[in-house]
A = this chain, B = another copy of it.
Amino acid sequence: MTLWSTTKRLTKRVLGYPENAPPVVTVNDWAQKLTDDPKHEVMNYIESLFPITKWITRYNRGWLYGDVIAGFTVGIVVVPQSMSYAQIATLPPQYGLYSAFVGTLIYCLFATSKDVSIGPVAVMSLTISQIISDVDKRFPGMWEGPQIATTVAFVSGLIVLGIGLLRLGWIVEFIPVPAVSGYMTGSAINIVAGQVPGLLGESGFDTRAATYKVIINCFKFLPDTKLDAAFGITGLFALYAIRIGCDALGRRYPRRQRPFFFVSVFRNAFVLVVLSFASWLYCRHRVSHSGKYPIKILETVPRGFQHVGPPVIDGKLVSALAGQLPVATIILLLEHIAISKSFGRVNGYKINPNQELIAIGVTNAIGTVFGAYPATGSFSRSALKSKSGVRTPAAGILSSLIVIVALYGLTPAFFWIPTAALSAVIIHAVADLVASPQQAYSFWRVSPLEFIIWLAAVLVTVFTTIEDGIYTSICASLALLLLRMARPRGYFLGKVTLTAHSQEKTETRDVYVPLNPKPSLMNAAVKVTPPAPGIVVYRFEESFLYPNASLLNTILVDYVKANMRRGKDMSQVKLSDRPWNDPGPRPGHDENAENLKKPALRAIVLDFSGVSQIDTTAVQSLIDTRKEVERWADRAVEFHFATVLSPWVRRALIAGGFGTGVPSSSVPSEIAAVVPYRGGQVAPSADPQHHDEEAPAPHKLEEYEITQNAPIELDATPFFHLDIVSAVRSAEGTLLREDMSSARSSVSKSPADISES
């Protein structure tokens, strides 16, 4: 036993274990919170993987009605849309239908949102087209487009599934709104530009090139416009006419809004049917000898599922795709989470983001079996589903049945669909994704820097690729975040006394505000009283962490050197004894008189209400600050902390020797030395230990604050205060005490001392 206790004592000595430190929060405390009821949590986790079990048993006729209407509506809309979006992805139209079928069917098993509809979407399709084009450029003819697309679906599906299972969905939060809005706008411009040639029947240039090139070419090739344009432009015009017409009629006759809404909804299908019929009338007798039709039509769309089977994953293809997978995965999860959260909010329920990731992960991974390309939540169809009065996720089943009907029964009719009409559908749908001027302006109103990030995302997407656009905006946002961390605001505070007059009595209350408040903060006529001489009150407006650690040091030390009295009288120091970088007083300038005019520094009060975290670098910086200001003042300086609410910040400050009233000279001055120095002795000149005799004993505060017969603050840490008012009072109390005792013993350090107090 003695051996054990000796070892323990030795270890404590080697580690520098503090013997009389006040109790602080420990890692054990934290770990105990984690393992509250592990069995219960595991059960909850497993249950949450299959949300369908919670509602399917309660399914009733009331729900069925809403689900049938919504499922049918989405089904009718998704068929033309999915074929169009496959065209964006440069895939044959049936792949869009496969995707739509799998998305609508499988999602409902795992969904925590009733509104979201999964299937092909515009931006994902654009990304797929860029991935196909990129792989094809690097490995010409090695893999077919559909194989590349399904491989992307499989691999990024598995990645998203993994993120969901590991409950890492919160990483989505690191993509801010301006970044998303920027690349969405850029992509939408890109898609619209890419479809204009199809709409007009132009050909002969690469529509997957950078957007600005496509736009230039659209104009250049305008003379090549073909008959397709008749179908395309008519279609586009009809689509907008129906939408605007129904909107206007709905507003005019509010009681008939619902029928007008459904007419508007079916405009895509309607326009396609009419144009296909027209194209059939026009083309059926005009086929050339080589089998060519006068306008571009879809021609044979294979009937039913042609590519059912276990997914064929080529390892080489996966490694060729590796560089593109992050972007595909980001788009997959980002759009879906954004949409499901937003509909949860609108309709007053709560989704589980991780479960949603599992849902799209499984959907895409399984989709590969049916030859589906990546599918994710579609905003327009989800809005439609929501507005059609969907009641449960089961509505998706009906939608998938309609897709099957289309796949098995309507493919002969699809033969005659003009591609220009599909382009019209795409342009009509995707143009809505472009951010409106109001929205761009509201970015500016909220935060001009974020507007710049948004603009950069748009421009980069338009001038290079969607991939670069996403990375640019995410990285720029992160850089802004770090810059915000590294350059926080801070204020030296002063007091404003408020007086409230009521019938019975007059109440006064102190509020601490910046010494020089901006006119937008408060009434400019109000005067702010600085704290008592010798006391500095500073408010740091951010967590105190390594990127901004040295800032607080610089600000405080500079302020003290500029405004507080230097303890050492420099007027007696010869020029040759001054530091090389101190030119000495200007001629005819009494350095000492000026110095003596300043108050002697007694206490620094730090308002830590903005500091919720602190780290080693920051604590070291605080220790350095203490050393530097004490060296300047040539006396011990009290450090008071107001509003330290976090037990971990408390722990860190106590480890750094703050809060308890231990004098700075008995605290190790290097809690986190970058380069420890252990060679040689401490030379006489460096770092004189002059504070020892002056260091105050841990003192009791003068202002007794009693409530409910118990002092509110903890005895062990008299320098931590609940709020800034008690912190400043405590600091001023010490000052008063000191001045009184120094006046009593008539050993005033300088004449200025008394006149100040």
Contacts and interface: CB of A to CB of B under 8 A. Distances in A.
A743 interface: no
Contacts of A672: 177-178, 181, 439, 442-443, 446
Determine the interface band of chain A, counting residues with CB < 8 A from chain B. Answer: 35 or more
Nearest to A498: B705
Interface stretch (A40-48, A90-98, A228-236, A340-348): A340-348
B500 A541 contact: no
A170 B548 CA distance: 9
A367 B513 CA distance: 53
B676 A436 contact: yes
Given A15-B441, A247-B681, A488-B613, 12 more contacts: A14-B438, A55-B581, A184-B674, A338-B674, A345-B628, A348-B632, A436-B676, A442-B668, A447-B616, A496-B712, A525-B710, A526-B710
Given A676-B432, A681-B251, A543 B546 contact: no
A599 B55 CA distance: 30
Interface stretch (A197-205, A213-221, A413-421, A478-486): A478-486
A4 interface: no
Contacts of A450: 615-616
Given A481-B547, A521-B645, A545-B481, A673 B439 contact: yes
A704 B526 CA distance: 15
Interface in A230-285: 243, 246-247, 250-251, 257-258, 260-261, 264-265
A720 to B, nearest CB: 9
A23 B511 contact: no
A180 B674 contact: yes
* Count of this chain's copies in the oligomeric assembly: 2
Interface stretch (A311-319, A650-658, A744-752): A650-658
Contacts of A543: 484-485, 488, 542-543
Given A243-B680, A679-B383, A686-B346, A176 B546 contact: yes
B547 A14 contact: no
A171 to B, nearest CB: 9
26 contacts: A14-B438, A16-B442, A25-B518, A173-B486, A175-B546, A177-B617, A181-B674, A243-B679, A264-B681, A339-B675, A342-B673, A345-B627, A346-B687, A432-B679, A439-B671, A442-B655, A442-B668, A442-B671, A447-B616, A481-B546, A484-B543, A500-B705, A511-B725, A522-B713, A523-B711, A526-B707
A670 to B, nearest CB: 8
Interface centre among A439, A496, A631 (most CB of B within 10 A): A439
A389 B523 CA distance: 55
A433 interface: yes
A577 interface: yes
Interface in A477-531: 477, 481-482, 484-486, 488-489, 491, 496-501, 509, 511-514, 518, 520-523, 525-527
A318 to B, nearest CB: 25
A677 B379 contact: yes
A450 B616 CA distance: 7
A264 B339 CA distance: 71
Interface stretch (A56-64, A128-136, A588-596): A56-64
Interface string A422-437: 0000000100110111
B387 A646 contact: no
Given A442-B655, A655-B442, A177 B525 contact: no
B176 A656 contact: no
B446 A680 contact: no
Sorted nearest first, the 10 A-B pairs with minimum C-beta distance are: A62-B576, A541-B612, A176-B546, A387-B683, A16-B438, A445-B655, A392-B580, A379-B675, A15-B441, A338-B674
Contacts of A140: none
Contacts of A380: 677, 679
Contact of A680 (B112, B247, B448): B247
Interface in A709-733: 710-714, 722-723, 725-726
A678 interface: yes
Interface in A640-674: 643-648, 650-652, 655-656, 668, 670-674
A685 interface: yes
Contacts of A499: 705-707
B526 A712 contact: yes
Interface string A576-612: 1101111100000000000000000000000001111
Contacts of A432: 676-679
Given A675-B335, A687-B346, A489 B646 contact: yes
A54 B645 contact: no
B685 A342 contact: no
A37 B435 CA distance: 39
